[in-house]
Amino acid sequence: MKKFNLKVGLTIGLLMAFTNSCKEDFLTVKPNGALSAAVLATYDGVDGLLIGAYSMIDGVSSVGFGWEAASSNWVFGSIRGMEANKGTDSGDQPDINPIQTFSEAATNPYLNVKWRSVYDGISRANAALVTLAIAEKAGTVTPAQADLLRNQAKALRGVYHLEAWRMWNMIPYLDENTDPKTVVNTADVTASIIADLDAGTNLPINMTQIGRFNSTVAKVFKAKALMQMKKDYAAAKTILMDVIATGKKPDGSAIGLSAKFGDVFDVSNRNGIESIYTVQYSVNDGSGGWNGGWGEVLNFPYKSAASPGGCCGFFQPTHELVNSFRTSGGLPLLDGSYNLAGEQLIRDEGVPGGDLWKASTSYAKNSGVTVYNPLFPFKDLGYQSLTDANKGKDPLISPADWQLVWTEDNSKAVDPRLDWTVGRRGIPYLDWGVHTGSDWIRDQTYAGPYSPKKQVYKKSQEGQLTEVGSWTSGWTANGYRMIRYADVLLLLAECQIETNDLAGALGNINLIRNRAANTAGFVKESDGTTNAATYAIAAYPSFPDQTYARKALRMERKLELGMEGHRFFDLQRWGIVQTELSSVLTFEKTKRAALYGAATVGPEDVNFPIPQNQIDITLGKLVQNR
């Protein structure tokens, strides 16, 4: 679906001919020459235009959109939702810095690129619809073919508009008849978006191709729109129950939970049973990486040698997210006590990494204790101070002269999903060996000690499922799981809670937790049998009331979908952006004071400001949303 072939070449020509080119945003630019709509007014021609519309589903194209607009929403969903820091160092991609500190201006380039990306997708969908109308009039497509093409184009248009609405709320709705010179963003467009998504529900359940939308995919997006825009949980519940009962992937294959949580994110399993809709990535196809995971290319550990991606140290999980995986009696600490001093997981900052850590670990295995170089600051971590007599001695040379300064503490119980979501020191990192700490981090003092993990490929997959011959192996075939079966179960559970079906919600949430409790899916030490940490997870025995059930559901989405770009938009839907992120921010400031400084979360931060460039281009027809 993502390959640039003849059809997509024709797409670009037609887009330049008669649509508002997103390169110049809403301005219409006359090309020197292009194919007429009549030339493409056949089934194959319209389908070529449709492929062009599908190609924007990852937020990236060959005309300059990159990680700023990635559909995985690692910036706007995860970093803004404070489950991740930007990572790397303060000077790299500095336009993300104000997004993570709730201080972005309307002139922030990331906002403009995201706007251009979603409206390019809308423009391409509209181009297909305009040409389809010509084909229908000419009789070059059958009614059945026309319906198939039209419903896909409308569904795509609905998805792109939904993404824009979540970002900015006050957005223009553009269909194939819209005059871009008259467009405004003051009308309620939600009904139009839902109608487009509803058209997609009329698609066949088997589209024969994994990358196209089918009726199941469209139903999930419609349910999400009803929940996000209308809070219509009853209608969404009916749709999602139908998806669970009858849904299929676009190629007609079955959907369901993967047996093991970790398997969901394996690049070789990118179209596995749990992936209802995966954005299709392709590598080593002659595109130079454009068809691979361009949007996520920065989000790999930063390590001097032999590490996944080879670059760039972005997208580091926050302390608050990591602490959230603490359990007691197998259940999450729903009262937020996981951030109390006695419950937090050890942060590892200041502890040496690399060969020094490996040597210390080797010593620990022989002696039962772990000691570390005293030149690193332990003060902030509450370690015992060294005696004056021992100062300056190297524990690797004379460990007997040292008192114990720190013993690796894996005794605190955690949800096993932690170590499939986050890379942390002392825990095996797929087949790359043990994460050895600070040597995996570009600037630990800036963004903390943790690494991303879900999108990362295995060492054994490098070269086959990653782009060869580029500056990074971060272009991978590990397509973004835009709709996961677990996500659908949790969306249904949310609807059940809001319609007071607590028993139904309990059952669906426990399906997720029981899968996570599958011991075959625990992260193991190198011996293959010993758990890498103390894992404890249990099903909820009951939901005593709606308030408790809401807390459980909201935590479950955090644990299950962490680092997948959902968090900020979940908080937005629940109406708790300001309260929840203010609480997280207060905690994170105790760890990353230099990063977050005087940041605050206000009511204006529920949406992002409309890009000033778009307001300027329309000569003020678009108005600012704050």
45-73: pLDDT as tens digits: 999 999 999 999 999 976 667 899 999 99
Spell out the domain ranges in the chain. 6-200+610-617
6-200+610-617 architecture in CATH? Alpha Horseshoe (1.25)
Local structure of residue 12 (DSSP, 8 states): H
Q: Terminus-to-terminus CA distance in the chain, angstroms?
A: 38
Residues 6+ apart with CB under 8 A from 599: 101, 102, 103, 585, 589
Q: Are 198 and 232 in contact (CB under 8 A)?
A: no
| Distance separating alpha carbons of residues 195 and 158, to the nearest angstrom | 8
From the list 557, 569, 547, 532, the residue with the least C-alpha distance to 332 is 557
Q: Are 73 and 164 in contact (CB under 8 A)?
A: no
Q: Which residues pair with 314 in a beta bridge?
A: 87
Q: How far is CA 561 from CA 527, 539, 540, in A?
A: 29, 18, 19
The per-residue pLDDT for 173 is: 98
The per-residue pLDDT for 301 is: 93
The per-residue pLDDT for 61 is: 75
The per-residue pLDDT for 603 is: 97
Q: CA angle, corner 563, sides to 483 and 280, nearest 5? A: 40
From the list 296, 290, 283, 594, the residue with the least C-alpha distance to 462 is 283
Q: Are 360 and 372 in contact (CB under 8 A)?
A: yes
The per-residue pLDDT for 471 is: 84
Question: Residues for the chain: how many in total?
Answer: 626
In terms of C-beta distances under 8 Å and separation of at least 24 residues, what long-range contacts does 546-551 make, across chains too? 546/497, 546/500, 546/502, 548/334, 549/497, 549/502, 549/505, 549/506, 550/497, 551/334
The per-residue pLDDT for 213 is: 98
| Distance separating alpha carbons of residues 588 and 102, to the nearest angstrom | 14
Residues of the chain with pLDDT under 70: 1-37, 62-64, 304-305, 347-348, 350-410
Local structure of residue 346 (DSSP, 8 states): P
Local structure of residue 8 (DSSP, 8 states): H
Quick one: which H or E segment has residue 481?
strand 481-484
**Count of C-beta atoms within a 10 Å radius of residue 503:** 10
| Distance separating alpha carbons of residues 169 and 163, to the nearest angstrom | 9
Task: Please give the distance of CA 92 from its chain centroid, rounded to a whole number.
Answer: 20
From the list 611, 27, 541, 520, the residue with the least C-alpha distance to 262 is 520
| Distance separating alpha carbons of residues 31 and 28, to the nearest angstrom | 10
From the list 494, 512, 610, the residue with the least C-alpha distance to 554 is 494
Local structure of residue 625 (DSSP, 8 states): -
DSSP secondary structure letters along 500-544: T-HHHHHHHHHHHHHHHT-GGGS-B-TTSSSBSS-B-----S---
| Distance separating alpha carbons of residues 526 and 522, to the nearest angstrom | 13
| Distance separating alpha carbons of residues 408 and 426, to the nearest angstrom | 8
| Distance separating alpha carbons of residues 478 and 282, to the nearest angstrom | 8
Q: How far is CA 316 from CA 7, 19, 96, 336, 580, in A?
A: 39, 40, 13, 21, 20
The per-residue pLDDT for 388 is: 32
| Distance separating alpha carbons of residues 427 and 435, to the nearest angstrom | 6
| Distance separating alpha carbons of residues 161 and 193, to the nearest angstrom | 6
| Distance separating alpha carbons of residues 195 and 222, to the nearest angstrom | 9
